[in-house]
Amino acid sequence: HVNVESSPNIDLDDIFISVKTTRKYHETRLRLIIETWFQLAKDQVWFFTDHEDEIYQNLTNNHMVHTNCGQGHSRKSLCCKMNREFDFFLSTSKKFWCHFDDDNYVNIPTLVKVLGDYHAYHEWYLGKPSISSPIEMYMNAAIMSLEQTKKYSKEEEKRRENEKVKFWFATGGAGFCISRALAIKMMPLTSKGKFIAIGDGIRFPDDVTLGFIIEYLLKVPLTVVNPFHSHLERMDHIDTEIFRDQISFSYAHIKDDWNVVKVVNGFDTTKDPYRFYSLHCYLFPHFEMCKSLRLR
């Protein structure tokens, strides 16, 4: 008997990495990514945006996907982009889909290493919640209509309106990964615009909608993977000694609060306010731009 599942290891090329972005962030957030971690996964990373941009098409070797989704921060535009990312993944033969925001730094070698622990032929929803308890919403007709298990009588429907729906979701701003087996299971609910309709039905953002589909409707639990980080966490709480073991980092600057990774002896803060160049040089000192630094 041949064990067809004998090799759990995967290559970078088995992963489809999508980054959600928007017109106004091309010159700032995207540039930062292109000059740092994108260089380690040029063939695997695709940017999902809302505006044709010839300059960035060239800089990314034509890896900008113009989604035709709206440019705003509205639920519809964001769910629309997520739906495009999902459909793109399905059109490939990659084993994992990993989504990130354009304010994430992705430590590519560690992402590959961690995914090696999971088998793409099993259903995996990997990520990290940013809240300490599951999200709760009241049952409604829209939710009941999505449950495929059975039809309810009018009386049962009325009774169920008082029920609470609880589920976990992976924070989009920390990044998450979904195995091919799970994506195939999601297909009837998610592909070709259905994701947008579900988001509209439950009136929650794209990452919550994804959690709702996977955890609540499909009953595949979120597997918490701690090395994902969004700017909802304090970035300066991540110790330098464990940078290498982390999958993602982020940044946020709100008024006086600079929530950024702490890299000692990095570039000047005027040159690198969000610390991603410094972090990149800490992790990959052989890059040309890092030659002037002595980080380790």
Residues in the chain: 296
Q: Which residue is nearest to Mn ion (CB)?
A: 103
Contact residues toward ligand UDP (CB under 6 A) are 20-22, 25, 71-73, 77-78, 81, 101-103, 173
Binding of Mn ion by 206 (CB under 5 A) = no
CB of 173 to Mn ion, least distance (A): 5
Q: Which does 22 bind (CB under 5 to 8 A by kind): ligand UDP, Mn ion, none?
A: ligand UDP
Q: Which is nearer to ligand UDP, 234 or 291 (CB)?
A: 234
CB-facing half-sphere around the CA of 79: CA atoms within 13 A: 25
Residue 78 or 120: the one with the smaller Cβ distance to ligand UDP is 78
Task: Give which of Mn ion, ligand UDP, none residue 206 binds (C-beta under 5 to 8 Å, depending on kind).
Answer: none
- Give the C-alpha distances (Å, rounded to integers) separating 251 from 5, 103, 196, 296: 39, 6, 28, 23
Q: Are strands 135-138 and 164-167 parallel, antiparallel or unpaired?
A: antiparallel
The interface region with Mn ion, picked from 35-43, 99-107, 139-147, 279-287 by CB under 5 A, is 99-107
Q: Which of 103, 206, 233, 272 binds Mn ion (CB under 5 A)?
A: 103
Given the rule CB under 5 A, which of 39-47, 98-106, 112-120, 282-290 is the region that contacts Mn ion?
Answer: 98-106
85 neighbors 20 (Cβ within 8 angstroms) = yes
CA distance 85 to 70: 15
CA dihedral 40, 208, 184, 123 (to 10 degrees): 80
CA proximity to 226, closest of 121, 130, 136, 102: 130
In which element (H, E) is residue 34 found? helix 31-34
For Mn ion, the closer of residues 103 and 207 by Cβ is 103
Closer by beta carbon to ligand UDP, 118 or else 212? 212
Q: Take residue 26 and report the two structure tokens written for it.
A: 């091309």
Q: What are the tokens at 122? A: 């099993």
Tell me if residue 207 is catalytic: yes
Which of 258, 287 has the CB closer to ligand UDP?
A: 258
Query: What string marks each residue from 164 to 193 as x (binds Mn ion by CB under 5 A) or -?
Result: ---------x--------------------
Under a CB-based contact definition with an 8 Å cutoff, are residues 246 and 107 in contact?
A: yes
Alpha carbon distance 198, 210 (integer Å): 9
Binding region for Mn ion (CB under 5 A) out of 80-88, 97-105, 115-123, 280-288? 97-105
Residues 219-248 that bind Mn ion (CB under 5 A): none
Active-site residue set: 207
